[in-house]
Amino acid sequence: MFDLELGLDLSGDFYTRHFQPTPSEDTLILNMGPQHPSTHGVLRVILEIDGEYILRAEPVLGYIHRMQEKMGEVKRYEQYLPNMGRVDYLHALAWNWAYVGAVERLMGLEVPKRAEYIRVITCELNRINSHLLWWGAYLLDLGAFTPIMYAFQDREIVMDILQRVSGSRLTYCYYRFGGVSQDIDDIFIEKTKEFCAYLKPRLKMYKDLVTDNIILRKRVEDIGIIEEETLRKYGATGPVLRGSGIKYDVRRKEPYSVYSELDFEIPTASSKDALGRYLVRMQEIEESLKIIEQALEKIPPGPHISPQAPRRPKPPRGEVYFAVEGARGEIGVNLVSDGSAYPYRVKLRSPSFSNLSMFPEIAKGTLLADAVSILGSLDLVIPEIDR
């Protein structure tokens, strides 16, 4: 039997096991998505609710699955590069970096110091861009319209800067094996410095307008509390982890590139709720500005790509894992090579997948309206989950 209204197979084991209400309970099965505005993509969450309270929640994936990992096995190493910008379109450069970093590690390819600094600058600009979009969209989900206008106004500046060197405004493919595709120029440096100076007072305005606003506080304080045991059980990373007081960041715990040469803090919050995750991301924008300013001062002369970088790489046989810190947490690429021009296996570690997996536990017993706040505080990118 198939219920057309609910879109559920009422006779299947899946529904019986997870969502069949007991006869003594007056509950309702509700679909949140896959076209719900607060899911930011085609994420479907099946909810069992008693009045306004959530008894059970189950995310359902597969609506945007594009076989990204399988495509990695049928494309040459250099052909697969543009795919990374489509996995997480909000922090595409971090995924670029994870992939080229894995290939470089497997080949023993050294990246010029100038290219490393360029990667840091551009990746942190992209992180700010991602956090700004999250900030505006999260507040829009909670009913505030004005902030997303400010967020997109500021994002336009970053996209103009990154477009100058990458040719793209969203799905970047700027990094190459052994460096970057194009060197930065004086205009890029000047515009980046201007943006850093511009955004600092804007962040103070954001704090006065939104962060200290009692309406926001009532929607995020003590909502979606995540304990350390739950975080570790599901492998949560990024601001979701740091929002519960755990100071883990790949840039510090497993340093890569030139991050060890830069001075910056890893923001954490002790409240463990949606507000804590919000504050961590806002503080991370400030830290990214510090990183960019330092990198601009320290960037050395030299080539932007290694002279030994092959155009069509054929790494030796072996297996390697390379991780970077993305806007949503640890991005990892596990790469297996059989010595040919095509990867034997590409396995992508998605932070959003781990963070979403906690949602059924977090949402249980909360109000339906708070589910929107909880989902937004996780900062999910559905194509990254449904890869």
Residue spans of the domains in the chain: they are 68-385
**pLDDT at position 5:** 42
Mean pLDDT per 10-residue run, the chain (387 residues)?
43 47 69 77 89 93 88 95 93 98 96 98 98 96 94 97 95 96 96 97 96 95 95 96 96 96 96 96 98 97 95 95 97 96 96 94 93 93 88
Burial class (CB in 10 A: 0-12, 13-18, 19+), 23: exposed
CATH architecture of the domain formed by 68-385:
Orthogonal Bundle (1.10)
Q: How far is CA 28 from CA 21, 188, 361, in A?
A: 8, 55, 19
Helix (H) or strand (E) holding 300: none
Strands of 329-337's sheet in order across: 318-326, 329-337, 345-349
pLDDT of residue 3: 45
Q: What is the CA radius of gyration of the chain?
A: 22
pLDDT at 98: 98
Element (H, E) at 326: strand 318-326
* Confidence at residue 65, expressed as pLDDT on a 0 to 100 scale: 86
Can you give the pTM of this predicted structure? Answer: 0.92
Cis omega (within 30 of 0) for bond into 23: no
Q: What is the pLDDT of residue 15?
A: 44
Q: How far is CA 73 from CA 174, 342, 353, in A?
A: 22, 6, 22
- Where is 317: in which H helix or E strand? none
What's the pLDDT score for residue 33? 77
